[in-house]
């Protein structure tokens, strides 16, 4: 199988005009890694046609964030896709996605779910995410879209958008992929030098400590995770939250069921996020 690389809407339409079965899409900003590879492999189990989008979306970056230095590795990305038998890589330019300018007047608004956690730290971020996801869903017209659990808030918002706006697509979550040392895979991990990477491992250690404390209740979960982060010099915690994964509200002490333990922190100049699902009240 040959992986086809296309850059324009017209090329994309032509490539998908005679699709033989279900189409699955994996949306990325490039700099593909083993986490993306896992998404592709999960998609391949079900779908006859796999589309990977590679687009660095300016709408979801605020001034001063890392848009300009975000790794751009399209030849390597296409090579990874070819190794995984991806049918089509859609790598459009900014002008192709936003032909009237990269500040479109009409956008998708994330609403209250986009104002907490990541949204509180990065105002407007999820409006940019949902706007480009909506456009790419229209352009690729998939039956199934695959997203990683590591971006839990993004996943929830995309699911809610698909439901609220009647997108004819099934949104499938794929568990977070981690390196052997526990660090969640992210394209931004390339920013970490050896010393910073060692510091960054405190995030996954904190989440494991919190999960281990789950039988003792929400306060124990929060305390155990906080203690790990506080003991590690060089970690600037943005937030550590234990929330209901369906509405992102802090869980009360008598909460029973699945909860999301999420963390965001800076290590050096790199901002990282991670999360785990924990079972409370078992």
How high is the pLDDT of residue 282? 61
- Secondary structure E strands in 141-256: 144-148, 170-174, 235-243
Instruction: For the chain, 282 residues long, give each residue's pLDDT as a single digit of tens.
Output: 699 999 999 999 999 998 889 999 999 999 999 999 999 999 999 999 999 999 999 999 999 899 999 999 999 999 999 999 999 999 999 999 999 988 899 999 999 999 999 999 999 999 999 999 999 999 999 999 999 999 999 999 999 999 999 999 999 999 999 999 999 999 999 999 999 999 999 999 999 999 999 999 999 999 999 999 999 999 999 999 999 999 999 999 999 999 999 999 999 999 999 999 999 986
The CATH number of the domain covering residues in 4-174: 3.40.50.620
What does the block give as tokens for 249? 């509200």
Domain spans of the chain, in order of start: 4-174, 187-280
What kind of architecture, by CATH, is found in domain 187-280?
Answer: 2-Layer Sandwich (3.30)
Report the C-alpha gap between 225 and 278 in whole angstroms: 12
Q: Is 36 a catalytic residue?
A: yes
Beta bridge partners of 242: 261
Of the residues 36, 125, 138, 226, only one is catalytic, namely: 36
Angle, CA 95 vertex, CA 94 and CA 101 arms, to 5°: 100
| pTM of the model as a whole | 0.96
Max Cα separation, the chain? 57
């Amino acid at each position: 199988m040959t992986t086809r690389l296309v850059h324009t809407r017209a090329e994309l339409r032509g490539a998908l005009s005679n699709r033989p079965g279900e189409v699955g899409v994996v949306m990325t900003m490039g700099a593909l890694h083993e986490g993306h590879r896992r998404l592709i492999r999960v998609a391949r189990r079900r779908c006859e046609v796999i589309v990977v989008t590679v687009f660095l979306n300016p709408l979801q970056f605020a001034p001063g964030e890392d848009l300009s230095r975000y790794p751009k590795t399209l030849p390597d990305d296409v090579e990874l896709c070819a190794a995984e038998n991806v049918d089509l890589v859609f790598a459009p330019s900014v002008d192709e996605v936003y032909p009237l300018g990269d500040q479109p007047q009409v956008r998708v608004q994330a609403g209250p779910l986009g104002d907490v956690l990541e949204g509180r730290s990065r105002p407007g971020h999820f409006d940019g995410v949902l706007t480009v996801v909506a456009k790419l869903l229209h352009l690729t017209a998939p039956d199934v879209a695959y997203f990683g659990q590591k971006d839990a808030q993004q996943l929830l918002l995309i699911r809610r958008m698909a439901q609220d706006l009647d997108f004819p697509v099934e949104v499938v979550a794929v568990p977070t992929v981690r390196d052997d040392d526990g660090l969640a895979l992210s394209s931004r991990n390339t920013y970490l030098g050896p010393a910073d990477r060692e510091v960054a491992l405190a995030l996954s250690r904190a989440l494991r400590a919190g999960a281990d404390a789950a039988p003792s209740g929400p306060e124990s979960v929060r305390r155990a995770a906080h203690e790990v982060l506080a003991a590690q010099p060089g970690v600037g915690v943005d937030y550590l939250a234990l929330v209901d994964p369906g509405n992102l509200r802090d869980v009360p002490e008598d909460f029973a069921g699945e909860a999301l333990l999420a963390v965001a922190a800076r290590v050096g100049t790199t901002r990282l996020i991670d999360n785990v699902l924990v079972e409370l009240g078992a």
